[in-house]
Amino acid sequence: MTFYLFGIRSFPKLWKSNPYLGLGPGHSYVSLFLSDSCGIRSQQRLFSLKTMSPQNTKATNLIAKARHLRKGEGSNKQVSSVPHFFSAGAAKKRSQMNPQSKDHALPSVRNTIQLPTQPLNSEEWDKLKADFKGKTSFESFIISQMAHSHSSVDVAKSLLAWVAAKNNGIVSYDLLVRYLYLCVFHMQTSEVIDVFEIMKTRYKTLEPGGYTLLIQGLIHSDRWRESLLLLEDIKKVITPSKKNYNDCIQGALLHQDINTAWNLYQELLGHDIVPMLETLKAFFDFGKDIKDDNYSNKLLDILSYLRNNQLYPGESFAHSIKTWFESGQCLGCGKTIESIQLSPEEYEFLKGRIMRDVIDGGDQYKKTTPQELKRFENFVKSYSPFDIVIDGLNVAKMFPKARESQVLLNVVSQLAKQNLRLLVLGRKHMLRQSFRWRKDEMAEVQKQASCFFADNISKDDPFLLYATLHSGNHCRFITKDLMRDHKACLPDAKTQRLFFKWQQGHQLAIINGFPGSKLTFQHILSYDTVVQTTGDSWHIPYDEDVVERYSYEVPTKWLCLHQKT
């Protein structure tokens, strides 16, 4: 299939340097669009989603041509095809046909100061300020430019440290808010929480922009419910924006609180606010793994809302709707097949076992050190959650004839275009210039994804499992490694079974995609391949006589038995 793939407790902590390599872009949930051919069909076959061909313009063109000929008989001039006034893309075509004059545009005024790319000490900030010739405040100018350029949080920290040192530990609200923006953009949740603590202490109320940034930053943390309290604070002054509601709803769904998410959605509609399509898409993305009639009715209500308000989903949203309808049903009897996704209880049980028996109690210290593992744990705590974790070295070697850094960059770039929060795991030797690894390509990788480069003797798999499980049940991972050694470390058959089920529902494999071409991923099944019953029916996966199946594979043929009544 094609993968289509949404205050600081103490001031010294604010500008403590960050030892990790790489920062990542913003977050969005991952959606996988599956097309299965193994006897499973839509859960609710209410419609079929097809790509419609463009409207037939032959008749329109023929009428236009006839009119033209009536005006000038015998003319051989061709009549240009003009898109319908309400057709998608018509306005853009009209603007291209009638470009606006830009003669009166005023030239932009730029300050000549170059933003630092590394944290500066006090003396270096003093020198940079002395070179500043602008009329505005130097500190406000610099932090504004940092926010505009999405500068490193570490650099911004050093600016705030310099300002605080000169002002008895005081940093202005404007600087704090712009620093908060950078923390939210780079998904540094712990820093967001620290700024939140400062603001709670120093300010009784905030302006809407500050509330919006705090909500957006808190929803990815264990303290996400405090974003709901901030929403209540906004209500005391004004009606919250659709963005405020979207962030709180996304946070509730991310933390499995369906009732809160739906109540917020109903509250949003009660204010006569048109929700963001991103909000509606999140409900469908969450619903693809839920077999509940009540929740299905909620999603049908959303579809009715789209119809009644003449709203049109984008392509990604349309595929989320399609995925929900195709969430697993037997073609023979119409019964729903068990989902491949773990329940919240199963997930937490497996996560605990993996952490104890593979991460903490496994043999990883033979290939790494406790210090490096602790450094990685702190890194994940600072930058997670991720949508996809990539085994960088493994992925880079998928196409032996291609340059390894080029392959990795191609994979990361295509996934980053879908606004996915990415983590690339690698080794330090990947950063050294060589025939196989180009520094400029690896620099591009680090711009588009969070990156952690371990010692060259370290083993990647424990790091990959830790980061994926720590990010939550939505996170997927990419590697060709089948993880058989780690499955064997688990103590009992039940845990091994859950691990294999989780692996099937989360591991992505690239099956096609030479550097520069579009990637194709092997699809993840939406249903669990085990013998299962609904009481009056049995579904039994079985092996074909002519097919040799390995232990890490599952059958593709099913026997459907239905009791006659």
Evaluate if residue 27 carries a pLDDT over 60: no
Predicted confidence at residue 93, as pLDDT, reads 57
Three-state SS string across 109-122, please? Answer: CCCCCCCCCCCCCH
Topology of domain 344-521, CATH:
Rossmann fold (3.40.50)
The residues, any chain, with a CB within 8 Å of residue 442's CB and separated by 6 or more, are 405, 408, 409, 430, 431
Predicted confidence at residue 321, as pLDDT, reads 85
Mean pLDDT of 459-477: 88
Selection from 122, 127, 125 nearest residue 143 by Cα: 125
Evaluate if pTM is beyond 0.85: no
CA distance 522 to 37: 13
Model pLDDT for residues 125-158, shown as the tens digit of each residue? 999 999 888 888 999 999 999 999 999 999 999 9
**Token output for 138:** 């130097």
If 0-12 CB within 10 Å is exposed, 13-18 middle and 19+ buried, where does residue 326 land? buried
Mean pLDDT of 37-52: 35
Average pLDDT along the chain = 78
CA distance 116 to 234: 36
Mean pLDDT of 102-117: 57
Evaluate if residue 251 carries a pLDDT over 60: yes
Element (H, E) at 554: none
Predicted confidence at residue 50, as pLDDT, reads 34
Q: What residue segments make up the domains of the chain, in order of their start? A: 276-338+527-564, 344-521
Phi and psi of 58, rounded to 5°?
-60, -45
Q: What are the Cα distances from residue 238, in Å, to 219, 231, 265, 377?
A: 21, 10, 18, 41
Name the least confident of 47-61, 106-120, 262-276, 362-376: 47-61
**pLDDT bracket for residue 300 (50, 70, 90):** confident
Predicted confidence at residue 97, as pLDDT, reads 61
Element (H, E) at 145: helix 138-149
Model pLDDT for residues 227-238, shown as the tens digit of each residue? 999 999 999 999
Which range of 16-30, 265-279, 293-307 scores highest in mean pLDDT? It is: 265-279
Which DSSP string corresponds to 445-510? Answer: HHHHSEEEEE-TT--SHHHHHHHHHHH-TT-EEE-S---HHHHHHSSSHHHHHHHHHHHHHHEEEE
**Token output for 455:** 């010692």
Evaluate if residue 3 carries a pLDDT over 50: no
Predicted confidence at residue 102, as pLDDT, reads 43
Mean pLDDT of 284-313: 86
DSSP state of 307: H
Higher pLDDT, 384 or 224: 224
Which DSSP string corresponds to 167-205? Answer: TTT---HHHHHHHHHHHHHTT-HHHHHHHHHHHHHH-S-
CA distance 337 to 43: 9
Cβ atoms of 5 and 32 closer than 8 Å: yes
Predicted confidence at residue 346, as pLDDT, reads 92
Name the least confident of 63-77, 253-267, 445-459: 63-77
Cβ atoms of 486 and 465 closer than 8 Å: yes
**Token output for 475:** 């996170």
Higher pLDDT, 327 or 222: 222
Q: What are the Cα distances from residue 2, in Å, to 162, 254, 284, 519?
A: 49, 25, 19, 7
**Which string of b and e fits 496-522 if b means at least 16 CB within 10 Å?**
bebbbbbbbbbbbebeebeeeeebebe
